[in-house]
Amino acid sequence: MKNIPSIHKSSSQPQKLAALRQAHQDWNNTPDVLTRLTRRLSTTLSLEQHLAILAEELGAIVPFDTLNYRHQIGKQDFVYTTGMGGPHRCEYRLSLEGVNYGILVLHRKQRFSEQELAGVEMILSAAICPIRNACQFIAIEQASLTDSLTGIPNKRAMVDALQRASLLSERHGEPYSLILCDLDHFKAVNDTHGHVVGDHLLQIAAAELEKAVRTSDSVYRFGGEEFAILLPHTPEQDAKDVADRIRSAIAGIRIDAGEKELNITTSCGVATFLPKESSQEWLARADEALYRAKHQGRNCTRVFATIS
């Protein structure tokens, strides 16, 4: 067999590697603002950090008093502001390939010149792709924490929230309560009316739960027909009152199921966080209270460690 020379070997390979090393040094050390901006933005997927970097690099070229950015990503309103003041403004709608990625507004005391506006646009043109990537990262992260049927946060999001709430309650000594509620006889709804009706009922139930609680409270889909509500700064009795209000809201749902109107009830279990316990232990106590509610007649509220 003849020896076949490698196509990868070349007498110019050392020169190519040397050129690569030089290019790498130039990339890291260049004083060019656009290269430096692009390099810095490539180090993170955090939209907040992107905007902080953009504000720093932009301010060195075109001075401003205030930078404001706002964008709605899914259900989240993202707002970033640095500085304050300035009656004169320039506003940019950031878009790429027809997709909107937020609005950026600059304010300052003096008018912006045409040259300055052109400079801002050049810098934004270098930043728009990283900003798009950061927005898409947030959207993907949101999707991973959102129940696709009801649009509310899912069990993974709830577990994360419980861990944070446990730490905050321990640190500040504030009461945090958890409600688990389970739609009564939901399997019979699916068996009798089908999963389309069952899914519709779950969507309505999720919407009613969000309406029945405060904006500071959080509603999660914990399981099939089971929901969780996290109540910050809420002691046990107040949490029980919220659970009873939730039961009334669910009992008020009416769905046209053909031959007759469909309605449903829910059972609730309540547990208030105890010092030194883990979030898993807290969740287990709420689940135990829900278990008692389901096995003591349903359509009722039970609080862990109470006799009722």
Let me know: does 249 contact 266? Beta carbons within 8 Å.
no
Other beta carbons within 10 Å of 274: 13
Measure CA 237 to chain center.
Answer: 30
Options 57, 116, 208, 225, the catalytic residue: 225
C-alpha distances out from residue 178 to 66, 216, 220, 290, Å: 41, 13, 11, 11
Distances (CA, A) of 292 to 205, 220, 227, 249: 22, 21, 16, 21
Per the annotation, the verdict on 225 as an active-site residue is yes
Residues 159, 69: Cα–Cα separation, whole Å? 31
Parallel, antiparallel, or unpaired: how do β-strands 226-232 and 255-256 relate? Answer: unpaired
Measure CA 11 to chain center. Answer: 54
Residue 268, beta-bridge partner list: 181, 301
**Residue whose C-alpha is closest to residue 63's, from 110, 21, 22, 104:** 110
The DSSP element (H or E) to which 299 belongs, if any, is: none
Give me the active site residues, please. Answer: 225
